[in-house]
Structure 1
Amino acid sequence: MRYPTFYQPTSEPPPNPEVLPEALPEPTGWLFTVGSLVPMLLSILSVVLLVICLVHAIRTRQDAWWFFIILFMPTFGPLVYLLTVLLPSWKGERIFTPAAKRTSSSYRREIKNLELRLSQVDTVATRSELGDACLRAGDFDKAREYFLSCLQGNYRTNPYFWYGLAQACYELGLYDEALNAIDKTMQPNYTDYKNDRVLLKAKILAELNRDEEAINLFQEVANFIPTQEGLCRLGIILERNNRTEEAKQVFQKILRNSQAMTPKTRKREKQWIDTAKKQLQKHV
């Protein structure tokens, strides 16, 4: 007995394996173009963020473990640094307020923000920033404490921290300690703030009555700093050592320099210009 079948043979020929199927049309349009560029853009942004974080970490002297996180944890490391270090620092007053327009309240606000950050994450970089902020605010006792706290472990020879300590000690009248600190910065491979450091050492030596050494340093640096302070202090110490003619020439040079200054610069240098005038009036 034959059973019925539901299969009906078709008259279509079997497919020819040598004939390839028709190719699908390639996707086009601006959406496809943008989508294809996204991976490349993300890679570029990742590299840019890494470089920004690395430069910031170097300039702000972050702890060594931050460099490990940034370099050996691509994308994630820089992102963590951005959220925990960069963004909080960008929100600070110091980033947006010009130094010339700073007020005591803005300095206090900056110090308060930094102290809050220090309580959350205690790093050498934050303590250094606090030391700098206290110097600018005139709180030299705290500045000295913060810079001393930085000079530990791997950072005990860091010339920048010694320079900050020297500035604080000078303002506090601790001249021997200031001299010891500034001498620690006189390293052949450290050129940052070179003229400022030489000027500070000359001022310290003058306070210690080591006048000849101070005069040599003032003469070395006076013409290489953007202020008349070095020349004015040189004239005063020359006067103190009865080198009157040399002192007069220095004070006259300050007045000649002032004639070429812009009103803004003359206002900034008013203290030294007025001092030079008073010293010259003694010899009229």
Structure 2
Amino acid sequence: MHFIRRRPDTYWLYIILFLGPIGAVIYLLAEALPDAGSTGYGFRAFPRRKRIRELQMIVKDNPSTGNYEELGDLYLEENKPGPAREAFEKAIAARGASLDAYYRRGICAMLLGEPAVALPDFERVVDREPDYDFYRAGGLLAHMYALTGQTERAEALFQSVTRASTRSETYLHYAEFFQSQGRHGEAREWAQKVLDKKPTMPGYLKRRERPWFRRAKQILKQLPPA
């Protein structure tokens, strides 16, 4: 189950299958245990769900902005963008919502495949704080511009953000943008930049960055030979 969810290096699958229980134990010690320690997912999941149930009851009597924002954050951590967006919308409707509520509502719309809906929230955040969330907001706004066909604005913002940030997610989206424009050389360059960071990363960061490494490899496979 851990291998399917986390998708580590393929050789681990052979270790598990051919060494049997010994291989499984080696895998759990080498991969699953560090994951639990660095992300805390396994330890936080049950308290988080308990807190969600508590907040669902609390907001019935105290529908405050803070309670709805906390509920939305917890839903996002549970990978439930639909209920999370609903909570952030209620927080914003109650007035006094933080800039983070708009940002996270935009993330929910993005995860739900609605870039045009996400775009105004990201624009609001970046207009007020261009470096919000260590420039991730700017990178996501550029990605939304790309997905809604605003290519000039997307490229200009990608150029600006990548001068200040080395986030793999932004590099990957920039590569996807070039790929969609048929600019294969630039797409290859930015996808390779994601993979070039891997050798010098500590183990816990490699585990966290795996989704971007996989997508970068997929882009390189899809591109015609250099």
Structure 2 length normalisation: TM-score?
0.70
| Higher Cα Rg, which structure | 1
Alpha carbons 1:159, 1:190 under 8 Å: kept: no
In structure 1, the partner of 2:181 is 241
In structure 1, the partner of 2:11 is none
Partners of 2:77 and 2:67 in 1: CA distance: 15
Aligned pair partner of 1:253 in 193, 198, 205: 193
Question: Could you list the runs of 5+ residues in structure 1 that have no partner in the other structure?
Answer: 1-96
In structure 2, the partner of 1:133 is 74
Partners of 1:129 and 1:253 in 2: CA distance: 35
In structure 1, the partner of 2:53 is 112
Partners of 1:174 and 1:152 in 2: CA distance: 20
Partners of 2:147 and 2:139 in 1: CA distance: 13
Letter in 2 for 1:163: Y
Aligned pair partner of 2:87 in 146, 153, 156: 146
In structure 2, the partner of 1:124 is 65
Shift of 1:109: 2.1
Structure 1 length normalisation: TM-score?
0.57
1:198 aligns with 2:131: no
Shift of 1:166: 0.9
Partners of 2:170 and 2:111 in 1: CA distance: 17
Partners of 2:201 and 2:112 in 1: CA distance: 32
In structure 2, the partner of 1:175 is 115
CA displacement 1:227-261 (0-9 Å, x = unmatched): 41111121121122121222222223222221211
Stretch deviating more after TM superposition (132-141 or 200-209): 200-209
Which residues of 2 match residues 33-48 of structure 1 at below 5 A?
none
Partners of 1:279 and 1:192 in 2: CA distance: 28
Which residues of 2 match residues 1-284 of structure 1 at below 5 A?
100-103=39-42, 105-152=46-93, 154-155=95-96, 158-188=98-128, 192-193=132-133, 195-222=135-162, 224-225=164-165, 227-281=167-221, 282=223, 283=225
**Count of matched residue positions in the alignment of Structure 1 and Structure 2:** 187
Stretch deviating more after TM superposition (158-167 or 117-126): 117-126
CA displacement 1:105-138 (0-9 Å, x = unmatched): 4442221122233334332111110011111112
Letter in 2 for 1:152: A
In structure 2, the partner of 1:31 is none
Partners of 1:98 and 1:124 in 2: CA distance: 32
C-alpha spacing 1:114/1:266, structure 2 compared with 1 (3 Å): same
Please report the RMSD computed on the Cα atoms of aligned residues, expressed in angstroms. 2.7
Question: Could you list the runs of 5+ residues in structure 2 that have no partner in the other structure?
Answer: 1-35
Letter in 1 for 2:78: A
CA displacement 1:201-240 (0-9 Å, x = unmatched): 1222222132332233233223644641111121121122
Letter in 2 for 1:248: R
Letter in 1 for 2:51: E
Higher relative contact order (CA 8 A, sep 6+): 2
Alpha carbons 1:131, 1:143 under 8 Å: kept: yes
C-alpha spacing 1:153/1:122, structure 2 compared with 1 (3 Å): closer
Alpha carbons 1:223, 1:231 under 8 Å: kept: no
